[in-house]
Amino acid sequence: MSSTWGQALQTAQSRLRNAGIADAWLDAELLLSHVLKISRTVLSAYPDTLLIDREVRNVETLVDRRAKREPLPYIIGTREFFGHSFLVNLSVLIPRPETETLLEYALAWAHRRSILVGSPERVADVGTGSGCLAISLALALRSAMVYAIDQSEAALGVAKENARRLNVISSVKMLHGNLLEPLLEPVDLIIANLPYVPEAELPHLQPEVRDHEPHSALTPGGDGTSLNRKLLQQAPKKLRSGGAMFLEFDPPQRRTLAEEAGRAFPTAAVQILQDLAGRDRILAVSLPVGPNTP
């Protein structure tokens, strides 16, 4: 039986709502728009347009995947982050809105620094995943060389393709390895959204996260602080005078990471910054400007 865009949208929305999807209507619109290769505006404007049989089958397949709680970005293959569309797949964590806050704090620091002593020349994004942070930094800091570091070659492949799509492949260098170990020269800015979910919390995460996103990108095990603590221990030899670090973390980890930062950088300013919900989310470390700072 033939189905119109409007009917297919209602059927998809009902199926997703019954599966416990909170934003069932939005997800249904996005899935239909993806199959039809049209905008949501066009979809809404022409509800009486008929679907062809192939489109009906494709919509049903994707709606079934979403109803089984597969994350929408993995189904459609992209995720919006900081105004740009990034490719994502099962090799990388899906970019989160709170990570945009991490980026905003880093860019605000870079702007202040550019007024005082010049723009950052070298930047490192540790655990780059899809490359959303590294590429966004390269787009905003046009004169900087950005090092995108990850121990997953598959993730670096996704990041490289995103850099190519967004035309920053010449200013984003992919480095394969553990944390800061592949970095051969000090940088002015280190930014990281490393795995930090406590291992005990994994069973309680939403099915989309628990059952589909790579666990290696979610938790380092234990209380979730080990990778950020190790990064802080490595950073003194990799961060230039006048530089800064910005790390995302789970709010209960605040004290542990602030103490580790104080030990690693006894002369630095260490701050705990909040996300848009007012939760402690970002650790900021700012080094004093030295005589050799560019």
One of 1.10.8.10, 1.10.3210.10, 3.20.20.70, 1.10.8.350 is the CATH number of 5-68, namely 1.10.8.10
β-pairing, 84-87 vs 78-81, is antiparallel
The domain spans of the chain are 5-68, 80-286
pLDDT of 171 higher than 80: yes
31-44 per-position pLDDT tens digit: 999 999 999 999 99
pLDDT band at 26 (very low <50, low <70, confident <90, very high): very high
133-169 per-position pLDDT tens digit: 999 999 999 999 999 999 999 999 999 999 999 999 9
Q: Is CATH 3.40.50.1860 the right assignment for the domain spanning 80-286?
A: no
Q: In sequence order, what DSSP letters do the residues of 146-194 get, joined into one string?
A: EEEEES-HHHHHHHHHHHHHTT-TTTEEEEESSTTTT--S-EEEEEE--
Q: Whole-angstrom Cα distance, residue 92 to residue 155?
A: 6
Q: How is residue 257 written in tokens?
A: 């990471």
pLDDT of 292 higher than 50: no
